[in-house]
Structure 1
Amino acid sequence: MMKAYQEALRTPGALRFSLAGLFGRLPASMTGLGIVLLIQHSTGSYGLAGLVAAVYILTSAVAAPLQGRIADQFGQRRVLFVVPAIYCLGIAGMVWAAGEPLSLTIISAIIAGTGAPQTGNMVRTRWTHNLKDRKLLSTAFAWEAILDEVVFIIGPVLVTFLTLNVAAPLGLTAAAISSLLGGWGLALQRATAPTPVKSSARGDDKLSLPPLISLILSAIGVGFVFGASEVLIVGFTDELGQKDLAGWVLAVSSVGSLLAGFIVGARSAASDPVKRLRIFTILLACSLIPLPFAATTFQMSIGMFVMGLTIAPTLITAVNLVELVTPLTRLTEALTWVTTGLSAGVALGAVVSGRIVELHSASLGFAAAALAATLAALVAWFAPVSQAIREPKNP
């Protein structure tokens, strides 16, 4: 089972840029939850906490495609040196304001979102440009998905512990430090960076919009589940007087996702990715159905683990499909557009679930998440992707 991973990681420079990306994307698992914990701790409002988290996520969603386009045209190095510094500036403002005054907190969230590093997408683009055996590309994407899950196991627990048990500002501060280490570490690895291609030299390398839009819409539904889960788990554990367990419950979901991603990635010659995306999104929707009925933290953890089993396979397949329908010269941009859809869904999920927790209960919020996942499955089922798949080309 490990052979495919070993072959992929023998690619020169792959392990180094992948590990740098691990630190660079750690803020992705810490910032949203960190904002919710910090603002709720400071103001006592889940609605306000969800609002600030949504502003951050929506801003990052808007900025992501711009970062991707600049990286494709002018090189990753320039982007990776600048955006982590912007992100840290915004985080510093949020930590200082902590919801009071709200205006400064919102402005800081916008700044942080503008600089939210798209390290994961840039690492995946490096794989596409450096991996000689195209049959191993799905394995490489699965490896990155596994590292994503490692990040989402460590990040929520770390930010929860630091924020609630050490000092409230420390969780987001740790995310900022990790952003600098990962982003600048990846920027220094020039040998594996994709060659930038000016827009005037791209010729007919245009984005295929119908399949890409379908993948973005499906990503919005999946993102809603992510955003809602962070807020709902905090609310659910708070209702039980076990708020300090929120990070652990989210980590359990990531463990399930990691295991499933590892198995999927070991099958480097996996079957039709369009069919897989349809199946995995349906399984995601089904896995959410029992969650509104969970009555204890243990029951919720079991349910989140089962849900996690569907996450990595869904995301691996979606990334694989983006690569198959996109020219290499536009890949980072295309990946960030899908990330934008995912982020928009996360923001919407955070806002909606925050209001549901305040007005009703966390359990009811999971019903809304199940509905969003069902819509994502419907979009994936009817997405016009198969006819847009390009013949794979070696770099």
Structure 2
Amino acid sequence: MRIASAGFIARMPIAMDTIAIILFVHSVDKRYSIAGALTGVAALTTVISIPLWAKAADHFGQRRVLLTAVPIRVSAFITFILLVKNGAPIWSWFLTIFLAESASLSVGSMTRRRWMHMIDKKDSHLLSTSYVFESFLDEMIYIIGPVITTAVATAIAPMAGIILGIIFLLIGAPLIAFHRNSDPGIHPRESGIKAKSVMRNRKLQAIAIPLTIAGGSFSAINISVVAFADERGMKSAAGLLLGVWALGGAVSAIINGAIRWKISHGARYLGYIIGMTTIAFSFPFINNFYLLGVALFLQGMCIAPLLPNGLSLITGSVPESQMTQAISLATAGIPLTGALSSFIAGQLIDNSGARAGLWLPFFFLVLSCSATIPYLRSYKD
């Protein structure tokens, strides 16, 4: 369980950084548009950096990648805090965020790759269980992360959320890097057909493209929920609402792991995307915390099973030498639409309030559903 616990600690910042940046920057600048633009740049940068680092992990080893990227990321975030606190030009804030996210890693892809290394291919049911377990950990992270971030940012100091994320990364990353038993090692590049770009794999496209578009809904929800709570004079409650969102995912992960499904992975993947879209339509019409919490919980129940079902379709069609890259690419595009929606949401909220921002999740999810249509045959197991 060491790799699971280490991965849990190292992944904590993924649920903390966005809301930590928003709270910290808004405490200084007072504009959601700037905070949204910064998180947008951060998200956009990871679209490029995460797949490249994942490819490097396949070819040079996870340990070397972790020990190279983590110091860069930590140094850049510390510089960002100092620049913002001391009133440096706003362009320098964007530069340091870019540098920090250029060293962003998909720790979840690395730990999932390690499960694949440790579990025999014949035990496919155990591999599926490990994916569900990792998704459960992700949801627990998204329950705890926002709550902790808003708590320390409001009770201690606005930059405390970013600093706490740095601490988690510095503890978890070395624990993963030096766990030899789970290390999948280095995989030589293959020649011929298998050497082709992994993104040409249609099953990967069928999972990655809809998830990429759906990513716009996640970022829009993050910033819109903060604004929703702020408008009602309870900004600290934003972390609780986002935690409830993730709690739905954690409950769903447990349920999905316990059931022996007769429905195919592909059919479940499609069903959950449609469910997310249907629930998102209610967001702009909600005016109180309790109803929004219920809606977020229900949508969270649809989000958690997406990746485990998607990965079960992908991993059987990708060579070993591209596996970490393929796993990371399944979700690496999410920040692309996240960057766009963060910027749009910030503008909408500043001009028209939180309700306007809450229309964006539904918009992106409708597009996500549409993107599955060309790949309907690929969802067959």
The answer to whether the superposition gives a TM-score over 0.5 is yes
SS of equivalent residue, structure 1 residue 198:
coil
Q: Sort the Cα spacing of 1:295 and 1:324 in 2 relative to 1 into closer, same or farther, 3 A.
A: same
Which of 255, 266, 281 is the matching residue for 2:273? 281
Matches within 5 A, 1:1-395: 15-98=1-84, 100-132=88-120, 133-200=123-190, 204=194, 206=196, 207=198, 208-267=200-259, 271-383=263-375, 386=378
Counterparts of 1:385 and 1:78 in 2: how far apart (Å)? 39
Shift of 1:130: 1.3
Q: Sort the Cα spacing of 1:170 and 1:261 in 2 relative to 1 into closer, same or farther, 3 A.
A: same
Summarize deviations over 1:318-362 as a string: whole Å, max 9, x none. Answer: 232232332222111112222221121222221121111111121
Counterparts of 1:121 and 1:68 in 2: how far apart (Å)? 8
SS of equivalent residue, structure 1 residue 167:
coil
Counterpart of 1:308 in structure 2: which amino acid? G
Q: Sort the Cα spacing of 1:202 and 1:358 in 2 relative to 1 into closer, same or farther, 3 A.
A: same
SS of equivalent residue, structure 2 residue 239:
helix
CA RMSD of aligned residues (A): 1.8
Which ranges of structure 1 fall in alignment gaps of 5 or more residues?
1-14, 390-395
Counterpart of 1:168 in structure 2: which amino acid? P
- Whether contact under 8 Å (1:135, 1:269) holds in the other structure is no
- Whether contact under 8 Å (2:49, 2:105) holds in the other structure is no
Shift of 1:104: 1.5
Shift of 1:106: 0.7
Counterparts of 1:315 and 1:387 in 2: how far apart (Å)? 13
Summarize deviations over 1:257-284 as a string: whole Å, max 9, x none. Answer: 1000111122356531111111110001
Shift of 1:38: 0.7
Counterparts of 1:387 and 1:324 in 2: how far apart (Å)? 13
Q: TM-score, normalised by structure 2?
A: 0.94
Counterparts of 2:377 and 2:127 in 1: how far apart (Å)? 19
Counterparts of 2:149 and 2:306 in 1: how far apart (Å)? 26
Counterpart of 1:348 in structure 2: which amino acid? L
Q: Sort the Cα spacing of 1:189 and 1:249 in 2 relative to 1 into closer, same or farther, 3 A.
A: same
- Whether contact under 8 Å (1:222, 1:342) holds in the other structure is yes
Q: TM-score, normalised by structure 1?
A: 0.90
Shift of 1:212: 2.3
- Whether contact under 8 Å (1:87, 1:111) holds in the other structure is yes
4+ long deviations beyond 4 Å = 200-203
**How many positions carry a matched residue from both structures?**
375
Shift of 1:161: 1.1
Counterparts of 1:339 and 1:220 in 2: how far apart (Å)? 7
Counterparts of 2:33 and 2:61 in 1: how far apart (Å)? 39
Summarize deviations over 1:274-329 as a string: whole Å, max 9, x none. Answer: 11111110001001111111111122111111111111012222232232332222
Counterparts of 2:88 and 2:376 in 1: how far apart (Å)? 47
Shift of 1:57: 1.3
Counterparts of 2:250 and 2:192 in 1: how far apart (Å)? 37
Counterparts of 2:136 and 2:320 in 1: how far apart (Å)? 23
Counterpart of 2:219 in structure 1: which amino acid? G
Larger displacement relative to structure 2 (275-284 or 204-213): 204-213
